[in-house]
Amino acid sequence: MSGPIRLALVGMGKIARDQHLPAIASNPDIVLAATVSRHGEGEAGVPFFHSIEELAASGVEIDAVALCTPPQPRRAIAHFAIQQGWHVFLEKPPGATLAEVEALRDAADAKGVSLFASWHSRYAAGVEPARAWLATRDIRAVTITWREDVRVWHPGQDWIFEAGGFGVFDPGINALSIATRVLPRPFFVETAELDVPANRAAPIAARIAFRDAAGAPVTMDLDFRQEGPQSWDIVVETDAGTLTLAKGGGELSIAGGGEHAGDTDLHGEYPGLYRRFADIVRAGSSDVDITPLRLVADSFLTARINAIEPFDW
């Protein structure tokens, strides 16, 4: 492919405007060619459509799409895009189920287009240095604390508490995307406990106990009701001291010393995602790691469900 990748952004919600648009604008290998949204408006001077079918029928030349819709309808949109011969960037989580992501991967392979299951937290500044340091360490225990205020990050977005919306696992899968990247051994769900409000279908809090392949415990505490300072921390106890990834992977300290303090804003992560997407499109390959999604699915499969008081905005 010569020239920049002509990309359509599908789903013009908060994450698209806050993260995707700035990252696209900063990447010389990608140009915003269209936007698509059932609700709201597009960008000035850029063709806007209410559905991906309208986009396909318009004649606007497109090479790729980035899908920022909620996960529930995403498979059908992605499959339609693949059939047009467009490369597909999937916002996390890549789909509502494992089966549909695997089907999209097979469809992309058959069509000869690239599919990217993006995990933005893996592009936080401290993640790769942490992975390198942990590669030769004996892992003793891991504690993941991921607590944030849903009213701040998803204000009024009822879809996140609907079936297939993931609830507190929408941010929790970010933690799992980091943990599965930096820890040298796979880990597996042993027990899970999910707190589901009486008027919702997805959990607002969760506690999961994992164990890695060598027997080290990995515990995770998720909560969507955190007020004040937010907590996005992974603490790894090793034979050589304690490694801490704080602020969603943006800050790394080892044995109490600050080793890496990078850009802790998400604006540092999405440019990395788009660089990776451009690379795989140019290479004619795909990048579809479903390990974090599988751990979420396993948590739901093994969970004890606690019905708690209703949640309202």
Q: Is 141 helix (H, G, I), strand (E, B) or coil?
A: strand
Which of 176, 174, 172, 178 lies closest to 128, judged by CA? 178
Distance between CA atoms of residues 189 and 303, nearest Å = 10
Identify how many contiguous H helices and E strands the chain contains and give both numbers: 10, 15
Would you call the peptide bond into 73 cis, given omega within 30 degrees of 0 as the criterion?
Answer: no
Q: Is 247 known to be catalytic?
A: no
Query: Among residues 210, 207, 217, 209, which one has the least CA distance to residue 139?
Result: 217
3-state SS track over 244-311 = EEEHHHCEEEECCEEEEECCCCHHHCHHHHHHHHHHHHHHCCCECCCHHHHHHHHHHHHEEEEEECCC
SS3 85: coil
The catalytic position among 14, 92, 111, 247 is 92
* Among 56, 71, 107, 64, CA closest to 87: 64
| Residues labelled as active-site residues | 92
